[in-house]
Structure 1
Amino acid sequence: MRISNHLGSISKTFVAAIAVSVVFSACSKKYDDMEPVQLAAITIVHAGPDTKELDFYFGNERVNKEAAFKYGNKFGYLGAYPGTSRIAITERGKSSILLSKNEMYQAGKFYSSFLVDTGSKRAFFTINDKLDSIAVNEKAKVRFINLSPDALPLDLALSGTATNIASNKGFKDFSVFTDVEPGENLTLEVKDHASKTVKTTIPAIKLEKGKFYTVWARGFKDKAETDSLKFKATIYNVTLKN
């Protein structure tokens, strides 16, 4: 699977939202004979349990053109030229940088960058998704990331099964993508690793073969059920096509 782009009227620091299987081409015909450049692909997730409205920047480009970058928001995959790019956040509509980080991206690789934690502990947490090295088969593939700042180590499992998809994941720990039998109306359970108590669930989901699912724990464990920053789990997916 290649992520590539013909050089043209596209920013050198930021390309745009892309599907992971797309090969880009510029609009101008004079670039048709140029050798395509293989890109990196980056998903951005706001996983910091905070109610503040932010702007997210990739290089010098603001990604969230239409609305604020809020807790729980996700952009991806974004295409970027290989090399070092800066990611940063500001308060919505302001220019002062709250947090920035230079990230190194390799051509043809897939990454996920999460904004995590709050206040002085706020940080960017980036992982290589390694989707380029995983063969698509008849299974769904699921991984788990614990991004709840105050949660104890957690497990992820399908309800009614004896084997965990992921085990003993502390804050900012994550599992590799694991083969899971596809199915409908499934329930994923996030459990306290020590007590095996179910802390939250994702009910009535459909896991499809050939799709990659990321489940991430979010929020604070002691928040009230009605609080938007309460502890819960969220799932998103991406489909790869050979």
Structure 2
Amino acid sequence: MKISNKFKNISKAFVAAITISVALSACSKRDNPEPIPAAVLSVVNASPSVKELDFIIGNQRLNVDPFKFGTKLNYVALYPGFSRISITERGKQVFLLSKDQAYQSGKYYSTFLIDTGTNKSFLTVVDKLDSPATDTKAKVRFLNLSPDAPALILTVKGATTDLFTNKAYKDFTPFTDVEPGDNISFDIKDNTTKAVLTTLAAGKLEKGKFYTIYAKGYKNKPDADPLKFGANIYFAQ
């Protein structure tokens, strides 16, 4: 497909057309087309940079507001197969990074923009959001997306057992059970020294919800720098 020279926002009609029934026609020419479940994608900017960006799928701009460091774009449905994902500087037409990414029908994905400069890349992971209706736990996973951080530990603050250990840059974990609660905080530690590098402020974890925690920024930046080491948490939506 030829890329137009002017990007457009993904319209509500485009999203609605493939999300209302969460199924697509396999082939309009068939008498009885088989439904094909959509692929579903969320996007996170974990690239420690002050630049404002746009995230592009094909020739459609996904974001309305600037796609800045720490920004998350909620799930949208995609036609299954290969989609070209790209970033540009805000409002510009030149691709800074592009990749043809495969998305399978019926699966949920998160694509993370990581690193900076010539090392900038996309990291795509499958979101396994399968949980029985009777589940009484919250689900948490962890990604180390800080380019200069050591291997990391994630632990519930005050717990005697770590959730995840020895997670190097670009490592990610599956979702694991965590007790829900109204006032849960997490520590991220250096895997070697066990020193706490950052703490996520206490918040509510709800049973049956899927939470992603990712380390971001540069460990060697001072506290006043907006690109300093830290962490974000969000739940699937």
Normalised by the size of structure 1, how large is the TM-score? 0.84
Q: Distance in 2 between matches of 1:46 and 1:36?
A: 33
Amino acid at match of 1:52: K
Q: May I ask how many residue pairs the two structures share in their alignment?
A: 217
Aligned to 2:53: 54
Aligned to 1:74: 72
Q: Distance in 2 between matches of 1:100 and 1:230?
A: 26
Structure 1: where are the runs of 5+ without partners? 1-10, 27-32
Superposed CA deviations along residues 203-238 of structure 1, whole A, max 9, x for unmatched, are 221111000000000000011111110100100002
Aligned to 1:193: 191
Tell me the CA shift for residue 37 of structure 1: 3.6
Q: Distance in 2 between matches of 1:37 and 1:175?
A: 29
Q: Distance in 2 between matches of 1:17 and 1:71?
A: 28
Aligned to 2:7: none
Aligned to 2:125: 127
Q: Distance in 1 between matches of 2:222 and 2:16?
A: 35
Structure 2: where are the runs of 5+ without partners? 1-9, 25-31
Q: Distance in 1 between matches of 2:168 and 2:227?
A: 19
Q: Distance in 2 between matches of 1:138 and 1:238?
A: 17
Aligned to 1:163: 161
CA contact (8 A) 1:150 1:221 kept: yes
Match of 1:235 among 225, 229, 233: 233
Amino acid at match of 2:199: T
CA contact (8 A) 2:45 2:114 kept: yes
Aligned to 2:214: 216
Q: Distance in 1 between matches of 2:14 and 2:166?
A: 37
Q: Distance in 1 between matches of 2:16 and 2:66?
A: 17
> Which secondary structure does the structure 2 equivalent of 1:16 belong to?
helix
Q: Distance in 2 between matches of 1:57 and 1:81?
A: 15
CA contact (8 A) 1:156 1:191 kept: yes
CA contact (8 A) 1:15 1:78 kept: no
CA contact (8 A) 2:52 2:67 kept: yes
Amino acid at match of 2:44: V
Q: Distance in 2 between matches of 1:152 and 1:161?
A: 22
CA contact (8 A) 2:42 2:110 kept: yes
CA contact (8 A) 1:15 1:79 kept: no
> Which secondary structure does the structure 2 equivalent of 1:120 belong to?
helix
Amino acid at match of 1:48: S
Tell me the CA shift for residue 135 of structure 1: 3.4
Aligned to 1:7: none
Tell me the CA shift for residue 181 of structure 1: 0.5
Q: Distance in 1 between matches of 2:37 and 2:188?
A: 37
Q: Percent identity?
A: 50
Alignment of 1:33-48 (within 5 A): 36-48=35-47
Tell me the CA shift for residue 163 of structure 1: 1.3
Tell me the CA shift for residue 25 of structure 1: 8.6
Q: Distance in 1 between matches of 2:93 and 2:171?
A: 32
Q: Distance in 2 between matches of 1:71 and 1:134?
A: 31
Amino acid at match of 1:138: T
Q: Distance in 2 between matches of 1:148 and 1:134?
A: 29
